[in-house]
Amino acid sequence: GWLPVAGLLRQERVTVGELFDRLGPEGLGLALLLLTLPTLIPVPGPIGITFGALIALVAIQVMIGAGALWLPQVLRSRTLPSAILRGVIARALPWLARAEHWLHERRLASLTGRRARAVVALLLLPLAVAIILPIPFGNVGPALALIAFSLGFMARDGAAILLAVILGLAALAWTGFLFMAGAALLEWGAALVGW
Q: What is the pLDDT of residue 98?
A: 66
Strands 79-81 and 13-15: antiparallel
State how far the Cα of 145 lies from the Cα of 74, in Å rounded to an integer: 28
User: What pLDDT, in 10s, does the model give residues 83-124?
Assistant: 766 676 666 666 666 666 677 677 777 676 777 777 888 888
How much is the average pLDDT of 50-58? 86
pLDDT grade for 45, boundaries at 50, 70 and 90: low
